[in-house]
């Protein structure tokens, strides 16, 4: 979706809160206060962005292995099963994000869990449910990639 198709509140939400999401028991109210609107407007604008698939989730991203554990995972999924398998993977609360690739391993996702035992249990559950092996690629070296983006208003 192009920035020009977003309303002003949606643009401001995306610009202002890709980084520095308020650490508050009521983050949407804090966002609303900063933007000079009410909380219901913020919630509605974010829901619309999610419904239009502009955003997939709202929440913090923690440095790896500071809280729990995580791994990059990959699966080799038959083309005809890719959409259904991706939908299943997306439904899991332990999945941070996933994406398809044109490769033998065509479904990649990040799993987070409270500890290694929980992570192994989720991987095992995915394998049992799908019948497809999960390749776990735990992080060996940390790199920081800023996934934020600037909106172009022109």
Q: How do the domains of the chain map onto residue ranges?
A: 3-51, 69-137
Long-range contacts of 113-116 (CB under 8 A, 24+ apart): 113/68, 113/69, 113/70, 114/68, 114/69, 115/68, 115/69, 116/69
Cross-strand partners of 98 = 109
Confidence class of residue 56 from pLDDT cuts 50, 70 and 90?
confident
Instruction: Look at residue 58 in the predicted model and tell me its pLDDT.
Output: 79
> Is residue 87's pLDDT more than 90?
yes
Average pLDDT, the chain: 86
In this prediction, residue 154 carries a pLDDT of: 46
Residue 57, pLDDT above cutoff 80: no
Over range 104-120, report the average pLDDT.
94
Look up the pTM and report it.
0.60
| Confidence grade of residue 100 (pLDDT, cut at 50, 70, 90) | confident
Which CATH number describes the domain made up of 69-137? Answer: 3.30.70.3460
Question: Is 150 a residue whose pLDDT tops 90?
Answer: no
3-state secondary structure the chain: CCHHHCCHHHHHHHHHHCCCCCCCCCHHHHHHHHHCCCHHHHHHHHHHHHHCCCCCCCCCCCCCCCCCEEEEEEECCCHHHHHHHHHHHHHCCCEEEEEECCCCCCEEEEEEECCHHHHHHHHHHHHHHHCCCCEEECCCCCCCCCCCCCCCCC
Q: Starting at the edge strand that comes first in sequence, how are the strands of the sheet with 107-113 ordered? A: 95-100, 107-113, 69-75, 135-137
């Amino acid at each position: 979706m192009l920035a020009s198709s977003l309303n002003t509140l949606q643009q401001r939400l995306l610009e202002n809160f890709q980084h520095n999401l308020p650490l508050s028991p009521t983050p949407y109210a804090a966002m609303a206060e900063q933007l000079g609107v009410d909380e219901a407007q913020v919630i509605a604008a974010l829901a619309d962005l999610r419904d239009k698939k502009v955003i997939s989730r709202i929440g913090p991203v923690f440095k790896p292995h500071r809280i729990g554990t995580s791994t990059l995972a990959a699966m080799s999924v038959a083309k005809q099963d890719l959409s259904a398998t991706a939908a299943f993977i997306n439904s899991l609360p332990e999945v941070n994000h996933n994406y398809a690739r044109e490769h033998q391993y065509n479904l990649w996702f990040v799993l987070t869990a409270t500890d290694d035992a929980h992570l192994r249990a989720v991987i095992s559950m995915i394998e049992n449910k799908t019948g497809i092996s999960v390749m776990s690629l735990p992080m060996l070296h940390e790199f920081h990639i800023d996934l934020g983006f600037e909106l172009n208003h022109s």
